[in-house]
Amino acid sequence: MADCYYLDGARNQQGPVSSEEIARLIRNGTIRRDTMVWSAGMPEWSPAGKVGEFAPLFAQAAPPRPTGPSAGGYQGQPRPAQYAQYDAARQMGFGEAIKTCFYKYATFRGRARRPEYWWWMLFNILLSIPFAIADVVIEGAGGPGVLSNLVNLALFLPSLAVGVRRLHDTDRRGWWILLWIIPLVGWIIIIVFLCQRGTDGANRFGSDDVSVVAEFD
């Protein structure tokens, strides 16, 4: 079995992981049947339970986590108190979105729910205002000044990356982001795409399990 990569509870790519480590992670429940995995030779990310090399290992995996108020954990799995971090991650707010986008500064793989994308866009707007004012004070009225251009340059790559991940969440390839270069018609189409609800369940770009960020209500 070739070295493999998998998406963890925060949808971050982990690996490369050896076949022995994959077997251990499956046995202790870290990698579940619906965890998205990829290894050399696979055309797309796929649920581990549907990959031939991994499927037999789930017979040795830990049982599903008990549910209910009195449910305890089992070895290798978080106990109920630890699941609070997943519940918190699913309700992504402004600060969490900014932190995530900076952490995934140039990450074009995976998916981004609407809260992650639109909170980041709000951050871009709020950050640009004081620098635009500073440019006017320093350089006078006109187009974007030095400070605004520096901010735009610093935010360009994470903004592009989260836009691609947002398109992935709607099961579209990231190349659709190029619609931004087509005035008016292209802008309208891409904004509609970016506003659409993400697909429920796994798609070709990643999983949608209990750790995935919740949509806006």
pLDDT tens by residue, 1-58: 567 878 877 777 887 888 778 888 888 788 888 888 887 777 788 888 888 777 777 7
Burial class of residue 156, CB neighbours in 10 A (0-12, 13-18, 19+): exposed
Is 70 exceeded by the pLDDT of residue 178? yes
The rounded distance, in Å, linking the Cα atoms of 82 and 86 is: 8
For residue 105, the tally of other CB atoms under 10 A from its CB is: 12
In the three-class reduction of DSSP (H, G, I as helix; E, B as strand; rest coil), residue 6 is classed as strand
Is 90 exceeded by the pLDDT of residue 172? yes
- What is the average pLDDT across 48-75? 60
In the three-class reduction of DSSP (H, G, I as helix; E, B as strand; rest coil), residue 197 is classed as coil
**135 and 147 in contact (C-beta within 8 Å)?**
yes
Q: How much is the pLDDT for 216?
A: 55
126 vs 25, higher pLDDT? 126
Q: What share of the chain is helix, strand, coil (3-state, %, to 5)?
A: 50, 10, 40
Q: How much is the pLDDT for 119?
A: 95
Conformation bin of residue 140: beta by default, left when phi > 0, alpha when psi is -120 to 50: left
On whether the pTM is more than 0.85, the answer is no
- Looking at the chain, the whole-number percentage of residues with pLDDT higher than 70 is 77
Phi, psi (degrees; rounded to nearest 5) at 215: -75, 165
51 vs 61, higher pLDDT? 51
71 vs 132, higher pLDDT? 132
Q: How much is the pLDDT for 101?
A: 94
Is 60 exceeded by the pLDDT of residue 140? yes
Please state which of the ranges 25-34, 69-78, 102-111 shows the lowest mean pLDDT.
69-78
Q: Angle at CA 193, nearest 5°, toward 192 and 197?
A: 100
**174 and 164 in contact (C-beta within 8 Å)?**
yes
Q: Which residues on neighbouring strands pair with residue 46, listed in sequence order?
A: 37
- What is the average pLDDT across 194-205? 87
Q: How much is the pLDDT for 92?
A: 80
Phi, psi (degrees; rounded to nearest 5) at 143: -75, -175
The rounded distance, in Å, linking the Cα atoms of 56 and 44 is: 20
Is 70 exceeded by the pLDDT of residue 61? no
Is 80 exceeded by the pLDDT of residue 108? yes
Strand 46-47 and strand 4-7: pairing? Answer: unpaired
Instruction: Determine which helix (DSSP H) or strand (DSSP E) holds 156, and give its type and residue range.
Output: helix 146-169
